[in-house]
Structure 1
Amino acid sequence: MLVPVRSVFQLLVEDIVVEVVRKPVRQVRLSVRAPHGQLRVTVPLRTTEATIREVVLRKQAWIRHHQTAMLQRPPVPELRYETGETHYYQGQAWRLCVLEQVGRPHVRLAPAEATLYLVVPVGATSAQRAQVLARWRRTQLQAQVPGLLAKWEPVVGAQAADWGIKQMRTRWGTCSIRARRIWLSLELSQWPLSCLEYVLVHELTHLHERLHSKRFWALVGQAMPNWQTPHLHLKHGSLAALA
C-alpha cells in the first residue's frame, strides 16, 4: 500500500485545536505558530492519532504557556512598504524612504539620517517592494554568515557541511544533523548581530547533541557564556524595545 508523502488534518484535544502534519520526518515536533498561537504537530507518516493525542496531553502545560505568551505580545504592525514606516536592521530602527525611479531596484542605508532607502521601479506594488527588501536582507546575511561560522565553529568544536537562509515563521534556525546542514531565518537580519551569533552557536551545538538536554545547554553556555541575553530577546523581546 502506498503511503502519502504528506497529509494535513485537524484534531481537537480537549479544547486545544491541533493542526497535524504527517510527513517523512523521524520524530514528533510541536510548534506554536504566530500570530494567534496555533498549535502545529509534525509527525512521522505512520504515527497514530492516539499517539498524537497522548503527546499533546503530555505537553499541555508547555503548549498553554507558549500560547499565552504569544497572545500577550503586542501586535506587529502590518507593513505596506511606504515612506515613513519603521523597519529594522541589525537591531536598529530605520525610517523607510521609497524612491521610485528607472534602474535596478536596490536598498541603501544612510546611517547619518537613520534612513533606509528602498529604490524600486515606478508603480512597484507593496509585494514587489517587499521582495526587493527581502533580497537585500538575504544578501546581507549571506555576506555575514561565513565569517561568523569561521569565528564560532572552532569555539563550538563542530563544523557545518552546508548552510542556507530561508523564510521561517516559527523558528530562528534549524539543523539537519544527518546532513550537517544549518538553516537560518531571514528574519534574523532585523535583530542585533548577537542574536544571529547565538542562533549559529545554538544550531552548531545540535551537531553534538540533538535534544535540548542539560548537556546541550551546558555546551551552549561553554561556547557562549552570555547566550541567555540574545536567547531571551528572540523568545520574548520586541525589536521596538531593543532599537
Structure 2
Amino acid sequence: MSTTSGYLTVRGIDVDIIYKDIKNLHIGVYPPMGRVRVAAPNRLDDDQVRLAVIQRLSWITRQRAKLRSAERQSEREMVTGESHYVWGVRRRLKVVERPGRAHFEIDGARLVLYVPAGTPTEKRREYLDKWYRDQLRQAIPELIVKWEQALDVTVPRWTTRRMKTKWGSCNRETRNIWFNVELAKKHPACLEYIVVHELTHYFERNHGARFTGLMDKYLPDWRSRRDLLNESPLAEEVWA
C-alpha cells in the first residue's frame, strides 16, 4: 500500500494527513493533546481534505474539549507514591517534609520533593511547574544555539508556557518562540524536534509540502520523534 503524508492548518488546528490506497476518508482526534489525524484516499487533494475537516469541525472541537477536560481531572495530588515523568523517564515521587526551602531532587529512580510540613497541594504543584520550567530553561539554550547555526537564523526570544493543544508556537513576525512546559516530561529527542519544527516556521508558515520537505532536510527522523512525542504519556501520570 502506497502512502504519503502532509500537514494542514484548519482554523488554527494542525492536521496530520496520511494519504493511502483506501476508499473512504477517516478523521481521528488523539490524546493527549487532541492531535487531529486524517487518513485520506490518494485520489483526494489537500483542498478536499480541508473541506472535509471543516465539515467535521464541530465534532473535532468537542473531542478536543473532552481530552482537555480529562487532562484537568488527572491533576496530581503531589503525595508520595505518585509517578511523574521527567525527560521521558517515569519516576516515583517521594515527599520529604522538613523546614527550609522547597525544592526537587532526582535520587536514583525517584523524584524527591523537599517541602515544609503543611504545604498545600496547590503550592506543591506550583513548585513542580517551576521545576519543570527550570529543566527546560537548562536544556533549550544549547539546542537553540545548535540550530541557529545549522539553519543560519537568530532566535530573538523564547519562553515556556502551558499550552492546551500545542507543543510549541512561533510568531513569524517577531520570531519569538514558545515551548510547552509539558516538554520537560518527554524524551529529549522530542524537545529537539519541537525546536527544529518551530524554527522551520521561519521559512514556511504552513504545514504543507514545502514545510515537510524542509523538515525532511533538516531532521530526517522527525516523524519518529513526533510519534514518540504524541504517543507517550502527558498529564495522565499514573499511580503505581
- TM score, norm. by length of structure 2: 0.71
SS in 1 for 2:213: helix
1:124-179 CA distances to partner (integer Å, 9 max, x unpaired)?
A: 11111111111111111111111111112222333211100111121100001111
> Whole-Å Cα distance in 1 between the matches of residues 110 and 76 of structure 2?
16
1:53-91 CA distances to partner (integer Å, 9 max, x unpaired)?
A: xx987523577578669979xx66441111000000000
Q: Which residue of 2 aligns with 1:101?
A: 98
- Cα displacement (A) at 1:121: 1.5
Q: Which residue of 2 aligns with 1:90?
A: 87
1:31-66 CA distances to partner (integer Å, 9 max, x unpaired)?
A: 7897796x9xxxxxxxxxxxxxxx987523577578
Q: Which residue of 1 aligns with 2:4?
A: none
The aligned amino acid for 1:195 is C
> Whole-Å Cα distance in 1 between the matches of residues 153 and 33 of structure 2?
36
Q: Is the CA contact 2:33–2:164 (under 8 Å) kept in the aligned structure 1?
A: no
Q: Pick one of 141, 157, 173 that aligns with 1:178.
A: 173
1:102-124 CA distances to partner (integer Å, 9 max, x unpaired)?
A: 1011000012xx00001111101
> Whole-Å Cα distance in 1 between the matches of residues 226 and 110 of structure 2?
28
> Whole-Å Cα distance in 1 between the matches of residues 228 and 65 of structure 2?
14
Q: 1:142 to 1:120 in 2, by over 3 A?
A: same
1:181-224 CA distances to partner (integer Å, 9 max, x unpaired)?
A: 00000000000000000000000000000111111111111111
Q: Which residue of 2 aligns with 1:221?
A: 216
Q: Is the CA contact 2:31–2:230 (under 8 Å) kept in the aligned structure 1?
A: no
The aligned amino acid for 1:29 is G
Q: Which residue of 2 aligns with 1:154?
A: 149
Q: Which residue of 2 aligns with 1:192?
A: 187
Q: Is the CA contact 1:108–1:116 (under 8 Å) kept in the aligned structure 2?
A: yes
Q: Is the CA contact 1:158–1:205 (under 8 Å) kept in the aligned structure 2?
A: no
- Cα displacement (A) at 1:237: 3.6
Name structure 1 gaps, 5 residues minimum: 1-26, 40-54
Q: Which residue of 2 aligns with 1:79?
A: 76
> Whole-Å Cα distance in 2 between the matches of residues 194 and 35 of structure 1?
18
Q: Does 1:233 align with 2:216?
A: no
Moved more, 177-186 or 27-36: 27-36
> Whole-Å Cα distance in 2 between the matches of residues 236 and 70 of structure 1?
19
SS in 1 for 2:114: strand
Q: Is the CA contact 1:35–1:70 (under 8 Å) kept in the aligned structure 2?
A: no
SS in 1 for 2:92: strand
> Whole-Å Cα distance in 1 between the matches of residues 219 and 181 of structure 2?
22
Name the % identity. 34
- Superposition pairs of residues 1-243 of structure 1, within 5 angstroms: 28-30=11-13, 59-61=54-56, 64=59, 77-111=74-108, 114-238=109-233
> Whole-Å Cα distance in 1 between the matches of residues 208 and 156 of structure 2?
23
The aligned amino acid for 2:169 is T
Q: Which has the higher contact order (CA 8 A, sep 6+)?
A: 2
Q: Is the CA contact 1:176–1:182 (under 8 Å) kept in the aligned structure 2?
A: yes
